[in-house]
Structure 1
Amino acid sequence: MDPWIVYCDGSAVPNPGRIGLGVLLIAPDGTRHTLSRAPQLQACNNEAELRALMAALQELQARGARALRVHCDNSVVVEQITDTNAKPIARLEALFGEARALFQSFEQAELLWIPQHRNSEADALARAALGITVPRVVKIAKKRR
């Protein structure tokens, strides 16, 4: 069973502030789908990232996906969803519970952390939902000789 490949990201401007959600879905046949939403919510960046993941999972359920590989650049979200021993974040615990239940509803599901610079399309979709079209500059440290 070939998985859907997913990249998700959330933005809060300022942090906390208005949130934008960005999701890139790649179907097993290579077809690309995007989501770019700005829920009328004020939240922190971690909540924006979590809500982007939830939006992706809900969209995948609606499309009948059974297997998925999700990429997220927020280590807090990845840890809270994948590590049963992670210390709970009280303010977001109910949302994390919903996200875990959604995640576990798929036959095969994998959530992977990726560096921010490898998540640029989802980031651009999240920022575009907030009306921010200027690309974010990510500096990557060069190895010293």
Structure 2
Amino acid sequence: MSLPLVHIYCDGACSPNPGLGGWGAILIAPERKSYRKELQGSEADSTNNRMELTAALVALKALKMPCRVQVFTDSKYVCNAFEAKWLDKWQGNGWRTSDKKAVSNADLWRELLEAVRTHEVSWHWVRGHSDDVENNRADALAVAARLELAARLGR
């Protein structure tokens, strides 16, 4: 029996960068036309890359069973880490880059690697702020979460 298919659209926002960050994610089960879940959150001290990673991580952790997952993101940083095998190289180098620097966001990368283990995940880059309705919605969720945090903090 085939695993259920889930599409995840995720995005992060940070302004200034580093600074107040927000993330948004949408989970859609295309085989169950009525299933859609929107998630969002924020952090007071973050970066755009941390928010991109957090969006994907939280969305994957929200899945209750193993799934075939197609993740759509406008972050080449996230896509390339998986598709260009950066993660394999970083792990092989003890979480160091090819020029021996510590990998940025290694804590989130480790969590994300753990989160993908139970699923069949493919990563797809989409152009940000284009005509992809779901990516634009994920961006809107991320920006709204960041703005809500800014209002709460009086910034």
TM range (shorter): 0.7 to 0.9
Q: Which residue of 2 aligns with 1:130?
A: 146
Pick the aligned partner of 1:46 from 46, 49, 54: 49
Contact 1:22 1:37 in 2 (8 A): yes
Say what the alpha-carbon RMSD is for the aligned residues: 1.9
Identical positions, percent: 29
Structure 1 residue 102 and structure 2 residue 115: aligned? yes
Pick the aligned partner of 2:37 from 33, 36, 46: 33
Pick the aligned partner of 1:92 from 102, 105, 121: 105
Contact 2:5 2:68 in 1 (8 A): yes
The amino acid across from 2:5 in the alignment is P
Separation (CA, whole Å) in 1 of partners of 2:66 and 2:145? 25
Structure 1 residue 113 and structure 2 residue 125: aligned? yes
Task: List runs of 5+ in structure 2 lacking aligned partners.
Answer: 91-96, 149-155
Task: List runs of 5+ in structure 1 lacking aligned partners.
Answer: 133-145
The amino acid across from 2:71 in the alignment is V
Tell me the TM-score normalised to structure 2 length. 0.74
4+ residue runs of structure 1 moved beyond 2 angstroms? 81-89
Residue deviations 1:70-128, cap 9 Å, x none? 1010001111133324664622123212212211221x211111111221010001111
Separation (CA, whole Å) in 1 of partners of 2:44 and 2:5? 31
The amino acid across from 1:102 in the alignment is A
Tell me the TM-score normalised to structure 1 length. 0.79
Separation (CA, whole Å) in 1 of partners of 2:147 and 2:104? 28
Separation (CA, whole Å) in 2 of partners of 1:14 and 1:69? 30
